[in-house]
Amino acid sequence: MVRLEKLTKTYKTGDQALKAVDLDIPEGQVLALIGPSGAGKSTLIRCLNRLVEPTGGKAWLGETELTSLSQGRLRKARRRIGMIFQEYALVERLTVMENVLSGRLGYVGFWRSFLRRYPQKDVDEAFRLLDRVGLLHMADKRADELSGGQRQRVGICRALIQDPDLLLVDEPTASLDPKTSRQIMRLIVELCQERRLAAIINIHDVALAQMFVQRVIGLEFGSVVFDGAPDGLTPDVLTQIYGEEDWEATIQKDEGRSSEEVEESAW
Amino acid sequence: MVMSVDHVQNLPSHSELKYMLGRRWRKPRFIKRSWLRWLLGVGALIYLIAAVMTVEVNWSRVYEGLDRGWKFVSAFTSPDFVSRGSDIWEGMLESLIMTVTASVVGIAISIPIGLGAARNISPLPVYLICRGIVAISRALQEIIVAILLVAIFGFGPLAGFLTLSFATIGFLSKLLAEEIEAMSRVQAEAVRATGASWLQWINYGVQPQVMPRLIGLSIYRMDINFRESAILGLVGAGGIGATLNTAFDRYEYDTAAAILILIIVIVMAFEYLSGVIRARVQ
């Protein structure tokens, strides 16, 4: 589904954010990308939809090679890649509906979007998605009237209404409380399963990642240093990714507890 | 996540703390070298005194002038709206037409130039051209432009209208561009990530963020344009300024007072209007 081949990004400052990353993601797989700040997590997912231009290597989404696309084709490819942002990144002065419908911008013409006259099918889908995340009654509220968790749900609707094949998720829970964080993660994972979507989730919360995903990639200084199942994250592996620490309290303890009951102190 | 190790490492050494305790603390000086700080301070003071001393004041002329000044001020107690009523009416109307048309045209041109002059959304060549236009518009003072345009188009409101449109471009484009440069990047990025075209991106990602400021600035510029239109009449570019100039030339201070009062009232009305609109567009 998604294949990275020696994907490299060197910033103008000379910082190598990604060092020839190779990665293969099959259809429908939800993958967590962990690593310390500055490891290149954000850069990696932004290179896929080219909000950041990669400086080397290749990236495939299905049959499409993304790094060499012209502007017009890039727009078409971006429609197939939904993105969910840290701090939600809703356009605050637009309504919830406008924010959700903005996910259709790649499909509708300028005048339709300018006059907010979306095809009824898009409007219905927006209503359906808002209902799915429990925000239908908020449709005409302005985005800045919503709480953090609600905003992130709208962000999820905006990404899904694109009808994407791949979801890029950048620190979805970074500014949410522990309970809301889990709800949002659960929602994202559920929706991915419903729609057989592949997803790359950047997340700094290791315990949360372990709870919800099938596969974890550890990134350090722009290189993949771990690739495996969540329970492969031993203290040694975490030390390799993040550096020396006491990791016992962070790692998910599964004996005798469901994954929902991991100590809150670890957050 | 687990902080204990870091905490221990970050503690300052105790010998350093012992040395610091009991010592005075002051905000570090902006200019560290004390001799330079004093030199600049004393130098500035001497320059100020010398500069004031070069201004010559002819006190006997001031004494005579006080009388004339008083006449002008006291005219405000008996403003004459009537005897030149039709001139005032025509002048006001001309000024308002000039103001509104110049503001509309100026704002319409300012928006694309403002977009182009914002470094975060425009490529370098476009940015340089737009900044160049802004710089030219801002460098040429209204009066100078008006004199030039009166020379080209002759006396009357056309020259005034063009002058104010031109001045609006410099003002509004610059401030709009700065507002765009200060917008939240990630909100705009999110819209771009959906596959939006450039125009859609501006409409959804940028415009909502800068709209309140754009509206506020537009009304403020309209207010400035109205006040400027009173000045432009002095160089023959039409409007109420022409009427005001005539009133001064004829020593009709009561008519001049009436005109000034009207200008103040209209500016205050703009101010009120701007408050109402800005409260609604948050």
Average pLDDT score over residue span B254-273: 89
Res. B10: pLDDT tops 80: no
Res. A189: pLDDT tops 80: yes
Q: What are phi and psi of A5, to 5 degrees?
A: -130, 105
For chain A, percent of residues with pLDDT exceeding 90 = 61
Query: B18 is written with which tokens?
Result: 């012992």
Does B8 touch chain A if contact means CB atoms closer than 8 Å?
Answer: no
Average pLDDT score over residue span A119-138: 94
Does B73 touch chain A if contact means CB atoms closer than 8 Å?
Answer: no
CB contact under 8 A, A102 and B189: no
H/E stretch holding B161 reads helix B157-181
Q: What are phi and psi of A2, to 5 degrees?
A: -120, 135
Give the residue among B90, B234, B239 at the shortest CA–CA distance from B158.
Answer: B239
User: B101 exposed, middle or buried (CB, 10 Å; 0-12, 13-18, 19+)?
Assistant: middle
pTM for the predicted model, two decimal places: 0.81
Assign A146 a pLDDT band (cuts: 50, 70, 90).
very high
Q: How far apart are CA B68 and CA B100, in angstroms?
A: 36
Res. B6: pLDDT tops 50: no
Res. A258: pLDDT tops 50: no
Identify whether A261 is part of a domain.
no
Q: How far apart are CA B209 and CA B214, in angstroms?
A: 10
For chain A, percent of residues with pLDDT exceeding 70 = 94
Q: Identify the pLDDT of residue B271.
A: 86
Chain B CB contacts of A90 below 8 Å: 187, 190
Average pLDDT score over residue span A52-71: 91
State which residues form the domain around A228.
2-245
Assign A261 a pLDDT band (cuts: 50, 70, 90).
very low
| Smallest Cα distance from B215 to chain A, Å | 14
Q: Identify the pLDDT of residue B79.
A: 85
Lowest mean per-residue pLDDT among A172-186, B10-24, B159-173, B233-247 = B10-24
* CB proximity list for B238: less than 8 A, separation 6 or greater: B94, B95, B98, B155, B156, B157, B158, B159, B160, B229, B232
Assign B4 a pLDDT band (cuts: 50, 70, 90).
very low
Average pLDDT score over residue span B19-26: 86
Identify whether A212 is part of a domain.
yes
Q: Identify the pLDDT of residue A260.
A: 44
CB contact under 8 A, B1 and A249: yes
Does B43 touch chain A if contact means CB atoms closer than 8 Å?
Answer: no
Chain B CB contacts of A76 below 8 Å: 195
Assign B233 a pLDDT band (cuts: 50, 70, 90).
confident
Res. B42: pLDDT tops 90: yes
For residues B205 and B191, the answer to whether their CB atoms sit within 8 Å is yes
| Smallest Cα distance from A51 to chain B, Å | 7
Assign A239 a pLDDT band (cuts: 50, 70, 90).
confident
Ordered domains of chain B (ranges, CATH): 84-280 (1.10.3720.10)
**What's the pLDDT tens digit per position in B71-125?**
888 888 888 888 888 888 988 999 999 999 999 999 999 999 999 999 999 999 9
CB contact under 8 A, A105 and B187: no
Q: Give the number of A-B residue pairs with CB atoms closer than 8 Å.
A: 99
Chain B CB contacts of A116 below 8 Å: none
Lowest mean per-residue pLDDT among A54-58, A90-94, B13-17, B80-84 = B13-17
Chain A CB contacts of B184 below 8 Å: 89, 92
Query: CA separation (Å) from A111 to A76, A114, A116, B19?
Result: 18, 5, 8, 70
Q: How far apart are CA A93 and CA A86, in angstroms?
A: 18
Query: A259 is written with which tokens?
Result: 């994954």
Q: How far apart are CA B238 and CA B225, in angstroms?
A: 13
Q: Identify the pLDDT of residue B11.
A: 56
Identify whether A266 is part of a domain.
no
Domain containing residue A215: CATH number: 3.40.50.300
Nearest CB neighbour to A75, from listed B190, B197, B211: B197
Lowest mean per-residue pLDDT among A164-168, A244-248, B59-63, B65-69 = A244-248
Assign A100 a pLDDT band (cuts: 50, 70, 90).
very high
Q: Identify the pLDDT of residue A266.
A: 38
Q: Is the dihedral of CA A223, A228, A231, A235 positive or negative?
A: negative
Identify whether A251 is part of a domain.
no
Q: How many CB atoms lie within 10 A of CB B52?
A: 8
Q: Identify the pLDDT of residue A253.
A: 56
Does B5 touch chain A if contact means CB atoms closer than 8 Å?
Answer: yes
Nearest CB neighbour to B186, from listed A87, A102, A245: A87
CB contact under 8 A, B5 and A113: no
CB contact under 8 A, A106 and B191: no
Average pLDDT score over residue span B235-257: 86
Q: Which residues of A touch B (CB under 8 A)?
A: 49, 51, 75-79, 81, 83, 85-87, 89-94, 98, 102-107, 110, 113-114, 155, 158, 162, 168, 206, 244-247, 249-250, 266-267
Res. B8: pLDDT tops 70: no
Number of domains in chain A: 1
CB contact under 8 A, B203 and A114: yes
Res. A159: pLDDT tops 90: yes
CB contact under 8 A, A83 and B191: no
Does B205 touch chain A if contact means CB atoms closer than 8 Å?
Answer: yes
Q: What's the one-letter identity of residue A266?
A: A
Identify whether A33 is part of a domain.
yes
Identify whether A263 is part of a domain.
no
Identify whether A267 is part of a domain.
no
Interface test mutation site (partner B, options A73, A74, A92, A93, max chain B beta carbons within 10 A)? A93
CB contact under 8 A, B2 and A93: no
Identify whether A164 is part of a domain.
yes
| In chain A, alpha helices (H) | 41-48, 71-79, 96-101, 110-114, 120-132, 148-160, 178-195, 206-212, 235-242
CA B237 to chain centre: 21
